[in-house]
Chains A and B, each alone.
Chain A
């Protein structure tokens, strides 16, 4: 008997005007399987998952049947569903209900009406399994994002579910916390035999581990097979989803060969060695046209030995930051969590005042600007959480409020809004409420809002967080267009792949300091850990292959 069986499920949202969100979905999930559901945002992944738990099922027209352990889901009572079907959502913060870690762990068990003794044991078990002991008594507000999501998982696992459903659980986490989290989910699947159904945009970490991958498009399931076959299928169909595949898969299909498709970096390395076996290595490095650091006029931003701390007694966050950002370039700062990257951005736009050192914008000290000058036509920051920028009921109103009254007529205003909306590709969203947009759409709407101040310097804090690969492509296009129009872009990011592909310069931030600055090519080919998957996969044969395209090109040159 299958664990979950979905038969001919069709669903329409009442407000969508007849467009089906799910159409004729058939899916069978066996006990203990690890199933990844992927697809572009808006393809119906979340809607599908929400149908697997009655309390979350959205209102609308439904037809078809869902069987849970052989019984129609609607006949499984709330008590059974609560404990047996675990559901982890995207936002770690919103799911936590109580103020203490221990209380959160016990929350579900309290609902089930268990007695003290049982709860005590279960909670102890969970805390030990997930390594929560050291923060067991803490307030939830003191936890990091990764810890919060782990707590959510643990508090669901405490109810001993037989199936675990996760809806983009790591989209709000940094890469290290995300990998940790996904490994824990994998461990639960392997050690406890819990069925896992997960949607993710970071396929690198879960693609190889999945028993089955389900690809969705426009509310339909277009493919449902084991990972190798999915790669082949997507390539064959020239599907856009192929861009979301892990680097080894993308590189594999870029090169003509008869070997088996690699899924991980390790397999990729071996595969590459096999492909190039008995071949004479003609070229091992690419000649790339690179921007030169010193060959530019006045830099847009100069930081001279910035020192900053948040409180008088607190430790220094910035410890003598020196940085030069050349005009009309995309400059990326990479580095771990809590090293002071975001603080640097805040110092540049005068939200944090360094107690020593200077910030020069366009060669002029920042104190010499008044705030109107600085933020109109000079400098703007896109915060890490784009949602915090919106203050109105619709995206259109939100954009319009950025244009000062009086100076422009309402037609001019409208055309300005339209123009910017077009650049950011959000014309169709102007009437929507900003909170209803998906992560990628919010990011672009926020960018549009920021762009309306007509900045010459754009500061971006983690712009690719929680965005899938297509939106990243779109986002990169927008950034390049802006660069051509003379905007200088400084971004702080964890996303090594994105920086490698699109940045002109990369700076490494560590311990309150920019350790090194270089072009992505030189920067990433020097590193062996902190670098792209393509580089890790190919560094034993090629010298400076950074992106998937580099590796593919070099492979072709050598065959």
Chain B
């Protein structure tokens, strides 16, 4: 039901469009929509922790706006002079706020990315570029925890004879730590030789390597693609009709809000909320089915 059960390509399309659009729009309504959607989705995915984190971001938005406006003095609406005699303008404060909010939305989206993209999915997507690249990533993901574990083991072994980095005088500790690192490097090199042999044994150097994945592109993924592209097209039309344009310098100038504008806002919001809506709908349906039984 969660978005991560979809095909990695779908996850990628969604997040690229969501983050790309959030970065390219600076029309206040669109910015607000991205912010609210990112906020809601990250809380839905990561719960209480995300809520606290997102709330902590708000002071930073305000802070950024204050800093921005004290260094940039474009605009015609003066609010007051600061202590060195420069004008603080309404336009620069608002523009600072807009940038701050955009940055916050992107950060919140990134937290969603981390929740949805497992290492498998990243490896898979790289495999589409080059099978060797994805294999390389997979090897790195395998080696890192292994090396860490072995470092722990050497440490324990050295402790058992009183020569670990946590025993003895300060000088001895330092010496012991150096020894540990040097032998760890030897160990890594030594063991990679054997891993390389095992790779060769299974035909690693043959031409025409493929990348296997456990993902399947099914009808659910197809309908998602159709929907998301429909919504993207509508949003794109809004952009073509200049609904997303705005000037902050020297004066805030934007197009009038017409009934049609609401269609564009709605399409953009729907685009961003799509995974969350699908997840909630899935959960509700599941609950209903369970209750019926």
Contacts and interface: CB of A to CB of B under 8 A. Distances in A.
B162 A371 contact: yes
B198 A97 contact: yes
B138 A99 contact: yes
Contacts, number: 164
Interface stretch (A101-109, A195-203, A262-270, A527-535): A101-109
Given A141-B142, A389-B157, A78 B202 contact: no
A346 B164 CA distance: 14
B160 A97 contact: no
A120 B215 CA distance: 10
A114 B213 CA distance: 12
Given A95-B194, A391-B179, A391-B183, A108 B159 contact: no
Contacts of A96: 142, 195, 198
Contacts of B149: 141
Nearest to A404: B172
Given A95-B195, A99-B138, A141-B149, A346 B203 contact: no
Interface residues of B, number: 53
Interface stretch (B48-56, B204-212, B230-238): B204-212
A112 B203 contact: yes
A55 B182 contact: no
Nearest to A455: B161
B131 interface: yes
Given A382-B160, A391-B180, A449-B161, A113 B209 contact: yes
B182 A113 contact: no
A114 B203 CA distance: 12
Contacts of A385: 153, 157
B197 interface: yes
Contact of B201 (A53, A93, A449): A53
A264 B234 CA distance: 77
Given A99-B138, A119-B212, A141-B142, A108 B202 contact: yes
A466 interface: no
Contact of A83 (B145, B198, B203): B203
B256 interface: no
A119 B212 CA distance: 7
A388 B157 contact: yes
Interface in A409-437: 435
Interface in B73-88: none
A97 B160 CA distance: 31
A449 B162 CA distance: 12
A55 B197 contact: yes
A87 B199 CA distance: 11
Nearest to B148: A141
Given A346-B156, A389-B158, A100 B201 contact: no
27 contacts: A91-B194, A93-B146, A93-B191, A94-B198, A96-B195, A97-B198, A99-B123, A108-B203, A109-B212, A110-B210, A111-B203, A111-B204, A113-B208, A114-B210, A115-B210, A116-B210, A116-B213, A119-B212, A120-B212, A141-B142, A152-B198, A380-B162, A388-B150, A388-B157, A389-B157, A435-B190, A453-B162
Closest 8 CB pairs of A and B: A375-B162, A82-B203, A381-B160, A111-B203, A113-B208, A108-B202, A106-B212, A388-B157
Interface of B: 119-120, 123, 131, 135, 138-139, 141-142, 145-146, 149-150, 153-154, 156-163, 167-168, 179-180, 182-183, 186-187, 190-191, 194-195, 197-214
Given A96-B195, A97-B142, A381-B157, 6 more contacts: A94-B191, A114-B210, A383-B153, A385-B153, A391-B180, A391-B183
